[in-house]
Amino acid sequence: LGAQRAYIPKYWPNSQAARNGIYGLSAGENRAGNGYYVGGVDLPGQKLIHPHYILMSSTLRPKTREVYGLLERMEKAGYFPPWGMVENLDVDGRSYLPMEGALNAGFEALSAYHLFAKSRGIPDAIYAASLKSPQIRRAMQLFYPRHAGEPAEVSTASGQ
């Protein structure tokens, strides 16, 4: 998350995205929405931001109000048209892609709920339900193997 948040200010310090704290070098639709694009902090010259990353990483931030502040700045900049968060935008902020349907929109919706639960200090019902699914638990073990010294289960407690 630190590398994501630092990339745009480091390489494009005077950009609209840097001034507003927008980040998200991820995979998603290309600029025109007619193909898939893969970005990331290990690739040079990245200028296309997929802001779904902001929501998807939001619960990793200690203070949810910082995430909400960033979302408000994005809304004021026009990156929340009536159908939701834009799929992507250039670092200069002049070019962006609104979409009615994108895979990342589903991830945004789930992540927005996780952010909401954390900000309100309420139990995360989606996370709690995932703990009850043997298939999801097994998939998580395969994708995210536990490292030595890590606890057996992650707490479901919410926090600010």
- Along the chain (160 residues), what's the average pLDDT of each consecutive run of 10 residues? 97 97 96 93 96 96 96 95 92 92 87 97 96 94 82 49
156 and 96, same domain (yes or no)? no
Residue 72's pLDDT is 97
69 and 39, same domain (yes or no)? yes
Closest to 55 measured CA to CA, from 38, 75, 71, 76: 71
Residue 143's pLDDT is 92
148 and 72, same domain (yes or no)? no
Beta bridge partners of 38: 27
Reported as type and span, the H/E element at residue 36 is strand 36-38
80 and 19, same domain (yes or no)? yes
Angle at which helix 64-76 crosses helix 103-120, to 10 degrees, equals 130
79 and 9, same domain (yes or no)? yes
91 and 150, same domain (yes or no)? no
Domain span holding position 52: 2-120
79 and 109, same domain (yes or no)? yes
113 and 143, same domain (yes or no)? no
91 and 146, same domain (yes or no)? no
138 and 154, same domain (yes or no)? yes
Residue 71's pLDDT is 97
64 and 111, same domain (yes or no)? yes
Question: In total, how many domains does the chain have?
Answer: 2
28 near 102, Cβ under 8 Å? yes
153 and 89, same domain (yes or no)? no
